[in-house]
Amino acid sequence: MDSSAIFRKKYGSFRRFFLMLGKARLPYLWIAAYLAASVVIANVGVSSTEYSAALFAGNVGLTAVVLPYLFYQLLSLVLGSVSGLLANLCEARMDRNLRRMVWCKTVRLPLRFYETNNPKELLSRITTDISSISGLVMRVFLAVLTTAYSSFVILRKISSYDGALMWSLVAILPVNILISFIMGRLKFGVQDLINRRNAQLTAAIAERTNNLMLIKSMGAEEKEAAVGEGHMRASYRAAGMNIWITGLSLPISAIATALQTVVIILVGRGFYASGALELTQWIAYYGFAVQLTNILSAYCGYWTTFKQVQGSVDRVTEIMDERSEDLDTGEVMGSPAGGIRFEKVDFSFGGTPLFQGLDLDIPAGRITAVVGPSGSGKTTLLNLIDRLYPLAGGTIRVGGRDAADYSLASFRRALGYVTQESVMYAGTIRSNLLHGLGRTPSEEELDEACAAVGILDYVRRQPLGYDAPVGESGASLSGGQRQRFSVARALLKRPDCLLLDEATAAMDIDGKAGVWASIRTAMAGRTVVYVAHDAQTIANADYVVVLRDGRVEAAGEREHILSTNLYCREMMENGEEEN
């Protein structure tokens, strides 16, 4: 890519960033109040410096100097607090508004987006990236505005003493900016190295600590001690480099500042000696010059922050540019009665085709098992039925109608789908069972659902019953228990069509048998499609579909398929394979 293209890209990403900020409903009123406060503070600061200069010069008239000095001191105190509060409030509101916008967008993104992005990274977009963006707006964009205004007010004051003095000062200041910029760059580079080394250390330690059992069972403690030490040494070395860079930067910037101060003093001395400046004005001038130097040194900090936040900005704008799913266009689906028919369905993952011209009939009102070796497309088949992925070609018909005629939301709601992950949320057993149900079932109905999946005893044993907490993501439950609750939740919805993806895989042999008996009763006369790996689970089907490499190898009545299909026969003879 040539340099102009890179430039264009950067330019484009900033344009998109500002467009995004425009959509985010920033707290403009608060920002305006904050800016107004900053304007007042800049002016108060100038007066305050002038009165303290007078005081320092020995001018101690009570009403002329001391009282106004006290007044400005207290005013600065109050105004400083007010503006600090406004800044904090602005940032908090900005955080909230941006986060709301990104979350509302994220929720509506298609499943593929989540599958191709690392969940940890998505999480940090909503949490830390947003915070850095509001930090960028407050501490860089607005700070540049307010400090520019303060500099302007200070310079205007100095020019009121003497115009030439002001221009001499302006001529010296860029040296300071240049030096702090160079030092900032240098430090930024080393800091980057340190962060990388520390990240590597953390990753290495985390990978091993999470698998201590393996290390112990292999007797590899010594080996791992050495590996860990290697990473620790690398991180120590990076820190050592930083020590020298930071260390050396101190005297370098001190020499630069000293030189600059000497020039500032020499310039001022000329005016002071010629009588153009009085003592009070000299003290004020000197104070102002120091203030200006400090303000301008901060500019390199802005640059560093800006560089650091750039990644966050890109990641968040990227999300906002993604296409959301259209959930509501189309007819409202009532009941998905009738069979499911795939007609010449094409589907591919990123360029690799999975299904090409797939034809398949899934009978209505019966239980169908989808089996096949791993990678044959079983889960994808269920996802396509629930319209979680868009088709590349062909049609899926439900009860004879094209599924695409219905609105996504109503369609998906009409089908029940128990996914492989058996999702539980932090909360109580009850809140998990009722999640997304849209009605409040009676206690008897809950008991019935739990009894059907063989977990009622467990609930009864809890001192809090249905109100017992389950921990984050159901951490206090075993895999089998989580699966039981997931099936119970799906049964409470009484869907006309139920999809199950290895929903009983983690249950033990008798548990599985009980749950399948209940599914058969509860879903009598309705359609069930499930993915299974093991002989015991397949035995519950009326109808079996065998997939291999994205093709239907066989489909038909269970007895027939189990005795004629080679894959199934081997599985029934050799035993199960669980997942």
Partner 1 sequence: MKRSGQTEGRAREKFSFRSYISFYTRFPIPWWLFLISLLLGLVNTEVVLAASKYVIQINKGELYNGVIIGYALMTVLTSAISMGINICDEYGTQKVTYRARKLLWRKILHLPMGEVERRQPSSLISGVVNDITQASQVIHTIFATVSSVYGFARCCVEMAKFNARLSAYMLLLVPLAVGVFALVGRLQYRMMLRRYESLNTMTEFFSEHISAVKHVKAQAMEELEMEEGLRAIDERYKADLYYAFMEVLQIFSNTLYTTIGSVAIAIFGSDMIRKGQMPDTGINDFTTYKGKVDQYQAEILTHYQSLKGTQGAMQYVGVLLGGPEEDPEAGFELPENQGNADIVLERVSFGYIPQQPVLHDLSLTIPAGKVTAIIGSNGSGKSTLLKLLQGIYQPDSGRIRLGAAAADEVKPARLRRQFGYILQHNPLFSGSIRDNITYGVSGTVEDEAVFQAARLADADGFIRELPQGYDTDVGVGGSLLSGGQRQRVAIARTLLTDPRYLLMDEAGASLDHKSDMTIFRTVREHMKGRTVVVVAHDMRSVMDADYIIVLACGSLEAAGTHDELLRTSPTYRNYLELQGCALAGEEAVR
CB 105 within 8 A of CB 35: no
CB 342 within 8 A of CB 359: yes
Tell me which residue of 315, 387, 276, 366 sits closest to 133, measured CA to CA.
Answer: 315
- Shortest Å distance, C-beta 517 to partner 1: 11
Distance, CA of 507 to CA of 188 (rounded, Å): 53
Distance, CA of 312 to CA of 255 (rounded, Å): 36
Instruction: Tell whether the torsion through CA atoms of 51, 52, 58 and 62 is positive or negative.
Output: positive
CB atoms within 10 A of CB 1: 7
Distance, CA of 330 to CA of 534 (rounded, Å): 39
Complex with partner 1: residue 6 or 104, whichever CB lies closer? 104
- Shortest Å distance, C-beta 472 to partner 1: 6
Structure tokens at 446: 């809950």
The residue type at 157 = K
Complex with partner 1: residue 96 or 307, whichever CB lies closer? 96
Complex with partner 1: residue 13 or 253, whichever CB lies closer? 253
Complex with partner 1: residue 13 or 290, whichever CB lies closer? 290
Complex with partner 1: residue 444 or 508, whichever CB lies closer? 508
Distance, CA of 425 to CA of 399 (rounded, Å): 34
CB 65 within 8 A of CB 51: yes
According to DSSP, the β-strands at 551-557 and 543-548 are: antiparallel
Complex with partner 1: residue 6 or 250, whichever CB lies closer? 250
CB atoms within 10 A of CB 139: 19
- Shortest Å distance, C-beta 29 to partner 1: 16
- Shortest Å distance, C-beta 473 to partner 1: 5
CB atoms within 10 A of CB 163: 10
Complex with partner 1: residue 13 or 409, whichever CB lies closer? 409
**H-state helical runs in 210-278:** 212-218, 221-273
- Shortest Å distance, C-beta 5 to partner 1: 30
- Shortest Å distance, C-beta 2 to partner 1: 31
Structure tokens at 351: 């360029």
- Shortest Å distance, C-beta 81 to partner 1: 4
Complex with partner 1: residue 351 or 436, whichever CB lies closer? 436
Structure tokens at 548: 């291999």
Complex with partner 1: residue 214 or 392, whichever CB lies closer? 214
- Shortest Å distance, C-beta 295 to partner 1: 19
Complex with partner 1: residue 326 or 359, whichever CB lies closer? 326
DSSP string, 140-172: IIIHHHHHHHHHHHHHHHHHHH-HHHHHHHHHH
Residue 369 bridge partners (DSSP): 530, 544
Distance, CA of 150 to CA of 43 (rounded, Å): 8
Complex with partner 1: residue 110 or 363, whichever CB lies closer? 110
Complex with partner 1: residue 80 or 365, whichever CB lies closer? 80
Distance, CA of 278 to CA of 286 (rounded, Å): 12
Complex with partner 1: residue 284 or 552, whichever CB lies closer? 284
Question: What phi-psi label fits residue 222: left (phi over 0), alpha (psi between -120 and 50 degrees) or beta?
Answer: alpha
Complex with partner 1: residue 222 or 444, whichever CB lies closer? 222
- Shortest Å distance, C-beta 492 to partner 1: 12
Q: Degrees (nearest 5) of the Cα angle 252, 258, 261?
A: 140
CA 327 → CA 48, 109, 340, distances in Å? 60, 10, 21
Please return the burial class of 190, using the count of CB atoms within 10 Å of its CB with bins 0-12, 13-18 and 19+: middle
- Shortest Å distance, C-beta 9 to partner 1: 28
- Shortest Å distance, C-beta 208 to partner 1: 7
Q: What are phi and psi of 338, to 5 degrees?
A: 95, 165
Tell me which residue of 519, 551, 129 sits closest to 380, measured CA to CA.
Answer: 551
DSSP string, 446-492: HHHHHHHTT-HHHHHHSTTGGG-B--GGGTTS-HHHHHHHHHHHHHH
- Shortest Å distance, C-beta 135 to partner 1: 12
- Shortest Å distance, C-beta 534 to partner 1: 7
Complex with partner 1: residue 6 or 203, whichever CB lies closer? 203
Distance, CA of 109 to CA of 390 (rounded, Å): 13
- Shortest Å distance, C-beta 396 to partner 1: 15
- Shortest Å distance, C-beta 123 to partner 1: 5
Residue with structure tokens 């099936």? 487
Q: What are phi and psi of 332, to 5 degrees?
A: -85, 130
